Amino acid sequence: MSIHPAPDDLLTSVQVAHFVAHGSLRLDAVVPDELNARAVAVLREGIPATPYATPLAEAFEPGSFAHRLVNLPKVAGAIYSLVGPHPTVDHHAVHVREANEGTAQHLHGDAIIDVRPDAFDVQLMYYPQDVTPAMGGTLSVPGSHLRRTNESDTGRYQNLRGQTRLTCPAGTVVLLHHGIWHAGRRNDSDTERFMFKIRFNPTVRQRLLWNTDDLHASAVSAELNTTFDWYEDATARLEIYNRVRLWQAMTGDETFDPDYLVTRVTNRPRRIVAQRNLNPHARDTSKENA
Amino acid sequence: MTVRQHVLVLYLASSGLDARVVGWSSYDGTGRTDPTTGDGDVPPYETGVDALRDGWRMVQASQLVPPYPGHEYDTSFLKHEFWFEKLAES
């Protein structure tokens, strides 16, 4: 992880814009079958815990399953693109949804309310098995990550239009902004479902860490302008506003504002134009050219 | 015969009851169904008024609360929450 990923392994600007809009990014079947095949046994046994904020480079034994996972070129490139070099591992955990367990988690955000406007943690969720609809794949709510709510106070919300009920092929990795609303769904199948989660803390400013060759592509603006079916009409505009502010922080470009939402409401002109007869200091020029 | 409350919560796209449903939850006091997180992608009604027309009685609507000064651009919980009930024999 200390080596800079190859440009082709970094995320593109469009992918990072997708992350900023959705609060998540999927990398389908990015983990090879050979690793997936041994994952369930490894996860069932457990991954040794690490103290909070252990440098990623020290968190997992070289050659171990977890070490190989985070060093897969595409995974390492995606982590680097979002949190930069030398992130720390906040914590990690193996999550198991038991077969036919009968309950779902309440919708929640992890940890506590976290409203940092220019920094974010990233949670990696790795699914070693094919996840079918009946297996209760993680529910997540696209575009919910910038809502200011605390942990499971959203537990009242059972379903939101346009929600994502994850189904995926084995070896899929999903990267999530720390604020995303999510929940483990009820597993109605006869198969235990495993997921391995790692939360990363950045140790550098999260600015232009990805492959920026396409930074000014129109597809970037299109991604950032995405709205979701569960957004209320008026609040949807505030979501775009907050997303633009985050993109400005991540690029250092305060002129980025395709729909003029930020610029309009931060426009505070200082130039004063008053009638001359209201200015007691104005020189009387009316007779100078007479 | 015992009567139990069946509760439906609809989240709408604006403060009007005829606005589009964007989220929903339900709780069934009869025990016949067990709704839970992420159990469906299709809302039970297109609008709040559609629920009225199907016999649900609205019992509470969100107030319109102005934003706290300095937090006008913050987003948080869904704003337009409407509670309905039906009474059913269990």
Residues of A in contact with B76 (CB under 8 A): 147-149
Residue of chain B whose Cα is closest to the Cα of A230 = B22
* pLDDT at site A289: 63
Inform me whether the C-beta atom of residue A150 falls under 8 Å from chain B C-beta atoms.
no
User: Which member of A148, A153, A233 has the closest CB to residue B74?
Assistant: A148
Residues of A in contact with B75 (CB under 8 A): 146-148, 235, 238-239, 242
Q: How far apart are CA A14 and CA A257, in angstroms?
A: 16
- Residues A158, B26: C-beta atoms closer than 8 Å: yes
Q: How far apart are CA A61 and CA B86, in angstroms?
A: 58
| Interval A108-113 mean pLDDT | 96
Given a cut of 90, whether residue A119 has pLDDT beyond it is: yes
Given a cut of 90, whether residue A80 has pLDDT beyond it is: yes
User: pTM of the entire structure?
Assistant: 0.94
Residue of chain B whose Cα is closest to the Cα of A138 = B38
- Residues B13, A232: C-beta atoms closer than 8 Å: yes
- Residues A241, B73: C-beta atoms closer than 8 Å: yes
CA torsion A51-A95-A148-A26 (nearest 10°) is 100
Beta sheet of B81-89, edge-to-edge order? A159-160, B21-28, B3-12, B81-89, B57-61
Q: How far apart are CA A83 and CA A105, in angstroms?
A: 28
Least confident range from A23-37, A212-226, A266-280: namely A266-280
Q: How far apart are CA A39 and CA A36, in angstroms?
A: 5
* pLDDT at site A277: 76
Minimal CA separation from B1 to chain A, in Å = 29
| Mutation target vs A (from B12, B22, B72; most A CBs, 10 A cutoff) | B22
* pLDDT at site A215: 98
Minimal CA separation from B31 to chain A, in Å = 14
pLDDT, tens digit (0-9, with 9 covering 90-100), for A221-278: 999 999 999 999 999 999 999 999 999 999 999 999 999 999 999 999 998 887 777 8
Residue of chain A whose Cα is closest to the Cα of B77 = A149
| Cβ pair B37, A158 in contact under 8 A | yes
User: Which member of B25, B73, B79 has the closest CB to residue A157?
Assistant: B25
- Residues B77, A163: C-beta atoms closer than 8 Å: no
User: Which member of B12, B36, B41 has the closest CB to residue A165?
Assistant: B41
* pLDDT at site A1: 47
* pLDDT at site A3: 72
Residue of chain B whose Cα is closest to the Cα of A187 = B39
Minimal CA separation from A251 to chain B, in Å = 21
pLDDT, tens digit (0-9, with 9 covering 90-100), for A152-200: 999 999 999 999 999 999 999 999 999 999 999 999 999 999 999 999 9
* pLDDT at site A144: 98
Parent domain of B56: 3-89
| Interval B8-34 mean pLDDT | 97
Query: Which amino acid appears at position A197 of this protein?
Result: K
Beta bridge partners of B3: B89
User: Which member of B21, B25, B73 has the closest CB to residue A158?
Assistant: B25
Minimal CA separation from A3 to chain B, in Å = 38
pLDDT, tens digit (0-9, with 9 covering 90-100), for B24-64: 999 999 999 999 999 999 999 999 999 999 999 999 999 99
Q: Which residue has the higher pLDDT, A179 or A283?
A: A179
pLDDT, tens digit (0-9, with 9 covering 90-100), for A123-162: 999 999 999 999 999 999 999 999 999 999 999 999 999 9
**Structure-token pair, residue A101:** 């367990």
| Mutation target vs A (from B20, B36, B37; most A CBs, 10 A cutoff) | B37
Q: How far apart are CA B63 and CA B18, in angstroms?
A: 16
Write out the DSSP string of chain A. --SPPPGGGSPBHHHHHHHHHHSEEEETT-S-HHHHHHHHHHHHH-PPP--TTEEHHHHS-TTSHHHHHHHSHHHHHHHHHHH-SS-EEEEEEEEEE-TT----PPPB-SSS----SS---EEEEEE-S-B-GGGTPPEE-TT-TTS---GGGGTT--EETT-EE--B-TTEEEEEETT--EEPPP--SSS-EEEEEEEEE-SS--SS-SBGGGTT-HHHHHHHT---TTS-HHHHHHHHHHHHHHHHHHH--TT--TT-HHHHHH---------GGG-TT----TTTT-
pLDDT, tens digit (0-9, with 9 covering 90-100), for A81-92: 999 999 999 999
**What residues in chain B have their Cβ under 8 A from chain A's Cβ atoms?**
9, 11-14, 19, 21-26, 35-41, 43, 73-80
Q: Could you state, in order of their start, the residue ranges of all structural domains in chain A?
A: 1-279
In chain B, % of residues over pLDDT 90: 98
| Cβ pair A163, A42 in contact under 8 A | no
Beta bridge partners of A165: A139
Cα separation of the two ends of chain A = 79
Total domains, chain B: 1
Domain topology for A1-279: Jelly Rolls (2.60.120)
* pLDDT at site A290: 55
- Residues B9, A156: C-beta atoms closer than 8 Å: yes
* pLDDT at site B90: 84
Give me the total of CB pairs closer than 8 Å, taking one residue from chain A and one from chain B. Answer: 98
Q: What ipTM does this complex have?
A: 0.97
Cα separation of the two ends of chain B = 7
Residues of B in contact with A183 (CB under 8 A): 37-38
